[in-house]
Amino acid sequence: MSVQNTDDGVGLATARASYDQSKVSDHNNSKIEEPTQVLTRKPRSMSTLSWICVVISLISSMFLFALDNTVVADVQASIIDSLNDEQMLPWVSVSYPLGVIAINLLISNLFILFDNKVLFIAGVALFEAGSAICGAAPNMTALIFARVICGLGGAGIYIGAMNLLSVLTTESERPFYLSLVGLTWGAGTVLGPIIGGALADSSATWRWAFYLNLCVGAVVAPVFIFLLPSHNPGKQASVLGRLRTLDWLGAILNAGALISLVMGISFGGGVFPWKSRQIIGLFVCSGVLWTLFFFQQAFALWTTEENRLFPVRYLRSKEMTLLFLQIVSAGIPVYIPLYFVPLYFQFVRSDTSLAAAKRLLPLVFFQVAGVILTGALISKVAYYMMIFLAGGILSLIGGTLLYLVKIDTSAGAIYGYSILVGLGSGLYIQAAYPVAQLKVNPSEIPRVVAFIGYGNIIGITLALTLSGSIFLNEATNRISSVLPLIPKLAIQQAITGARGTFFHTIDPVEQKAVLEAIVRSVGNVYIVVIVSSAVSIIVSVFMKREKLPKKGPEGQDSGIVLDENAGHV
């Protein structure tokens, strides 16, 4: 099948027809095959200067999205001093990712049907509105509500940036530009606690950790309005017709399943005991909703096969399924060290937030190097699976060494271990995107971005919630055994940074025992990194031995067979 793409967008009817035709071909040939395509236009029509402004603006918005994920880490004490209500404090951190995951798949489907520029700008506007409310929040309830709004808008920013950078770049450019997204996310995640803590300790107060988003948003807004190109995949259908195609039931089930799961992991052991009816209820609710979502998607209940919220048909491709597993696994070794390497130095070496952040430079530098290296080599190596395999091996070695770190481990050794994890995770954190996109028709790119992006969000969410829960519970229990007279709530507040003065009032022997408990708890967090890296290695072994196709000067593609036994559900 040949596709001639001569418009700025691919019509909804064309996209659906392409899907139906590929489904028939799939049924007859028992395989998914990427068509030979000839692109008769450049992916964008703008000057180099305009394109640079667009790219900088897109990744700046992505930076703010990532920054908000961690900006509250070092401002919790200031928030409590200002707004009180300590019982609501855990919601300040959890509410933001809940907003992101609740709407991620639905937003992805909206980008398939509507103008990407309009949706992206709407996401930025929603994010900025939430930031304004956060900064002006009169109480904890308003702050939590605003954080959810920021998460909803942030989901639009993330999916929008990935889609727009995909449709506005050629196949050879795409790995580089998508790698910028990963780099920007990493930078925002690292700098979040530093910027938040610095503002909280200054006369600006913690509120400017959120007002800062408004300043950056005001700068990039004109670029989005006047320079960002439109991409409207479904413009041939009416707005109401496109809304009717959305899988609303699937969106509700998926959001409920993810939210209850994240809340159960985040609040278990900290806010509520693991055996409490609240935590058990959350996990039971999540399990029931996941079961309902699975059956609803598998049998296309109250929707159609092509309109299902989750692109189930990709799971019939062995290679697409393996890429999904890779992107889920890749997020864990990327983000866990970003949190826990500085935490180790803050407790063991009494580093300030800024000094601890500087300790991340070797990790971040080699993570950046890994991403850039992948962008340059993924289409040149004999088999692209080698990128995933090498990344998994390096992450496994580095994660294992970080697990073995003790109180007296030298800073140089920790830097070396961080370099291994950074380089390894950097090699494959963004590699699944260009590989997956080269395996589908042009009209399928937004859908495959949604597919891989969903795995990416799940991996990041698992990394943050699992690691946070493991550390908080391990450290609380270990320190409680050393300091049995100290209430667990006070210990948890000290661990999370909300209140930590009593650590300085205990005698040196107890201080050493507490530090050993914290270091051991940090080490156990890296078990998650070890497991995820091992999964990546195993998955890499089963990936196809093939090289990504090279595009000729005219953009002609040789086509790739995804999987000889693949088909549509």
Confidence of residue 516 (pLDDT cuts 50, 70, 90): very high
Asked if residues 11 and 235 have their Cβ atoms less than 8 Å apart, the reply is: yes
The DSSP bridge partners found for residue 527 are none
Nearest to 445 by CA among 68, 112, 65: 112
Burial of 483 (0-12, 13-18, 19+ CB in 10 A): middle
Distance CA 317, CA 561 (A): 10
Homologous superfamily in CATH for domain 44-239: MFS general substrate transporter like domains (1.20.1250.20)
What are the phi and psi torsion angles at 292 (to 5°)?
-65, -40
Most confident of 44-58, 70-84, 490-504: 44-58
| Per-residue b or e along 287-309, where b marks 16 or more CB atoms closer than 10 Å to that residue's CB | eebbebbeebbeebeebeebbbb
The whole-angstrom separation of Cα 106 and Cα 247 is 8
The most confident of 139-143, 344-348, 379-383, by mean pLDDT: 139-143
Give pLDDT, residue 164.
92
Maximum Cα–Cα distance for the chain, whole Å? 75
pLDDT at 559 over 50: no
The span from the first CA to the last CA of the chain, in angstroms, equals: 21
pLDDT, residue 382, reads 75
Rounded Cα distance, 241 and 158, in Å? 26
Contact indicator for 325, 314 with CB cutoff of 8 Å: no
Average pLDDT taken over every residue of the chain: 83
Q: Which residue has the higher pLDDT, 48 or 91?
A: 48
Helix (H, G, I), strand (E, B) or coil at 333: helix
* Sequence-distant (≥ 6) Cβ neighbours of residue 380 within 8 angstroms: none
For range 83-110, the mean pLDDT: 83
Confidence of residue 42 (pLDDT cuts 50, 70, 90): low
Identify the burial level of 28 via C-beta atoms within 10 angstroms of its C-beta, where 0-12 means exposed, 13-18 middle and 19 or more buried.
exposed
Per the listing, tokens 């809340």 go with: 263
C-alpha distance from residue 297 to each of 32, 109, 249, 304, 450 (Å): 20, 14, 10, 9, 16
d(CA 193, CA 85): 22
Q: Which helix (H) or strand (E) holds 33?
A: strand 32-33
3-class secondary-structure state, position 563: strand
Over residues 523-533, the pLDDT tens digits come to: 999 999 999 99
* Per-residue confidence (pLDDT) for residue 549, from 0 to 100: 66
| 534 token code pair | 């091992």
Q: Is the four-CA dihedral 146, 149, 154, 155 of positive or negative sign?
A: positive
Q: Give the long-range contacts of residues 258-265, CB within 8 A, separation 24 or more.
A: 258/101, 258/102, 258/286, 258/461, 259/98, 259/101, 259/102, 260/285, 260/286, 260/289, 261/286, 261/290, 262/94, 262/97, 262/98, 262/101, 262/461, 262/465, 263/94, 263/98, 265/465, 265/466, 265/469
Contact call for residues 17 and 441 (beta carbons, < 8 A): no
Q: How far apart are CA 524 and CA 479, in angstroms?
A: 15
Nearest to 255 by CA among 103, 458, 477: 103
pLDDT at 548: 74
SS3 labels along 234-292: CCCCCHHHHHHHCCHHHHHHHHHHHHHHHHHHHHECCCECCCCHHHHHHHHHHHHHHHH
Residue 386 confidence class, pLDDT cut points 50, 70, 90: very high
User: What pTM was computed for the model?
Assistant: 0.80
User: Helices 445-482 and 508-541, interaxial angle, to 10°?
Assistant: 150
Higher pLDDT, 214 or 185: 214
Q: Residue 213 has what pLDDT? A: 96
Q: What is the pLDDT of residue 112?
A: 87
pLDDT of residue 537: 97
User: Is pLDDT larger for residue 512 or for residue 551?
Assistant: 512
Q: Is the pLDDT of residue 89 over 80?
A: no
Band of the pLDDT at 172, cuts 50, 70, 90?
A: confident
Length of the chain: 569
Alpha carbon of 425 to those of 56, 112, 428, 536: distances in Å? 24, 29, 6, 10
Vertex 500 angle, CA 499 and 502, to 5°: 115
**3-state helix vs strand vs coil in the chain, percent to 5:** 75, 0, 25
Please report which helix (H) or strand (E) contains residue 134, including its range. Answer: helix 116-136
> Would you state the pLDDT for residue 552?
38
Instruction: Determine the angle formed by the axes of helices 140-167 and 48-70, rounding to 10 degrees.
Output: 150
Domain covering 311-548+564-569 in this structure, CATH number: 1.20.1250.20
Residues 316-337 as b or e (16 or more Cβ within 10 Å = b): bbbbbbbbbbbbbbbbbbbbbb
Residue 309: strand, helix, or coil: coil
